[in-house]
Structure 1
Amino acid sequence: MSLTTPWPYPRWIAHRGAGKLAPENTLAAFRHGASFGYTMFECDVKLSADGVPFLLHDASLQRTSNGRGIAGELSYGELAQLDAGSWHSRTFAGEGIPSFENVARYCLHNGFFLNIEIKPTPDTERATGEIVAAYAAHLWASASVPPLLTSFKIEALEGAAAAAPHLPRGLLADTLFRGWLDKAVQLGCVAVVLNHALWDTETVAKAQAAGLRTLSYTVNDDWAAQRLIELGTDGIITDRVDLFSPAS
């Protein structure tokens, strides 16, 4: 992929499935986001103790489930028994922590696009990148559009590149650290995904000059979205699936 080839993904991307309208990183969230017309979703993927990729943002379980402790220290069989919906509302009580494979098959069956944020448990960065990328390569082997793999963790992106070099990758960053653009190019990324406030005319121009696509997180206000559209950026990750129409 490059700036000279068509970008295969839609502009609007639903954050963690449906933003805050459903329990994040669950199949219920994906279904809810789809009900608003979204066809591309962002999710966080890490590894269980027995090496199964699953969806969860935090290292610990307390915020978004009835579990306790570090999620990556449990087997997926143990994780699958937890309630990841009741914390959000009664409507979603009993919603489970999904495996990455289940979410992938849901997306593939429905023709949806996926932005996979590789979100390693600390000290598992390289292994998580390798295993998640290998799973993605297998699951999307016959798909026309692959998932976009992103991460804040350099080691995770290096692992992904080693395991599945053909899958597109993007560097996530919440600051313009020294050498951010060179690092994205060095990693063979096709995109940079920045905190939306970091994009301006200069940063967009630099990224585009390096042949990189420009994506933003997490955009929940009209004025911010309009600014990014006027700057010519390529992707907007949002919680507000109820506010922004992906068809607009």
Structure 2
Amino acid sequence: MTDISWLTARPIAHRGFHDQNKTRWENTLSAFDAAVGRGYAIECDVHLSADGVPVVFHDDTLERLTGRQGSVHEVTAAELAQVTIGGTTDHVPTLAEMLARVRGRVPLVIELKGIQGKDEGLVAAVGRALADYAGEAAIMSFDHWLVRQFAEQAPGIPGGLTAHGRTTSDLEAHFAMLAHPISFVSFGVMDLPNPFVNLVREKLAMPVITWTVRDEWGRKVTSEHADQMTFEGFEA
């Protein structure tokens, strides 16, 4: 099994080390620079643009972060490069641009954001972007259909399941994903502890990171029931 101890070695800045979108916005090169400067690992989100380029952006639609109408998958990467975030000078970066900026200085945890019918080729495109990347990087997704593609379309890259919930149906769906070759789990801190995470850590010896820790309670729950936190809103 590939050694991914680096995944839990340091706190993970949620969407980079932003300042709650006051002056340094989420998933921007400025937020990634700030995380690198503090030695934090970085979590970020990736969609496909209209021309099939992985771009770093959380939402399906542009409005909250850019003030512009429309969906990410309707706009080309070149057009997104001209779109500014939150009235700052930061633009929507491509994954390749983000990788060139970080340059392997801290680990990356990349969440693939699926839109069924619009995300064909997303896993393969991210896999190609990471194939020659010299730094430590992992991929993960909430979307089970994407996770099922990880081993074939992004070979050699640690893949994880992003998840939340504590109902029986939630947990059964998560247990079913253990039939696929995942390397770690990212679980919502608000839903810990639970039998799924307990089994993943204790029986499968698989690392678990939490999302999103915003206070001391979340930090405490992470220390008791997981291996590292994805955090925002404070210095870790």
Q: Cα deviations across residues 112-150 of structure 1 (Å, max 9, x unaligned)?
A: 110000012342344212221222223x2xx3x531101
Distance 1:7 1:193, change over 3 A: same
TM-score, structure 1 as length reference: 0.84
Q: Structure 1: any 5+ residue segments left out of the alignment?
A: 87-92
Q: Secondary structure at the match of 1:63?
A: helix
> Which consecutive aligned stretches of 4+ in structure 1 deviate over 6 angstroms post-superposition?
none
- Pairing 1:140-219 to 2, within 5 Å after superposition: 140=133, 143=134, 146-176=136-166, 177-200=170-193, 202-208=195-201, 209-219=203-213
Q: Does 1:11 align with 2:5?
A: no
Distance 1:148 1:123, change over 3 A: same
The CA deviation at 1:213 is 1.1
Q: Cα deviations across residues 177-205 of structure 1 (Å, max 9, x unaligned)?
A: 14344333222111111110222274443
Q: Is the contact made by 2:214 and 2:231 (CA closer than 8 Å) also made in structure 1?
A: yes
Distance 1:128 1:55, change over 3 A: same
The CA deviation at 1:238 is 0.6
Q: How far, CA to CA, are the matches of 2:113 and 2:71 in structure 1?
A: 13
Identity level (%): 26
The CA deviation at 1:107 is 1.8
**What residue number does 2:80 align with?**
79
Q: Choose the corresponding residue for 1:226, options 183, 200, 220.
A: 220
Q: Secondary structure at the match of 1:72?
A: helix
Q: Is the contact made by 2:36 and 2:102 (CA closer than 8 Å) also made in structure 1?
A: no
Q: How far, CA to CA, are the matches of 2:115 and 2:204 in structure 1?
A: 31
**What residue number does 1:243 align with?**
235
Q: Is the contact made by 2:33 and 2:102 (CA closer than 8 Å) also made in structure 1?
A: no
The CA deviation at 1:228 is 1.6
Q: Cα deviations across residues 12-50 of structure 1 (Å, max 9, x unaligned)?
A: 100001142521111011112334x13310000011111
- Pairing 1:56-71 to 2, within 5 Å after superposition: 56-71=57-72
Q: Does 1:120 align with 2:120?
A: no
Greater RCO between the two (CA within 8 Å, min separation 6)? Answer: 1
Q: How far, CA to CA, are the matches of 1:181 and 1:51 in structure 2?
A: 29
The CA deviation at 1:157 is 1.7
Give the aligned residue type for 1:18: F
> Alignment length, in residue pairs?
228
Q: Does 1:98 align with 2:98?
A: no
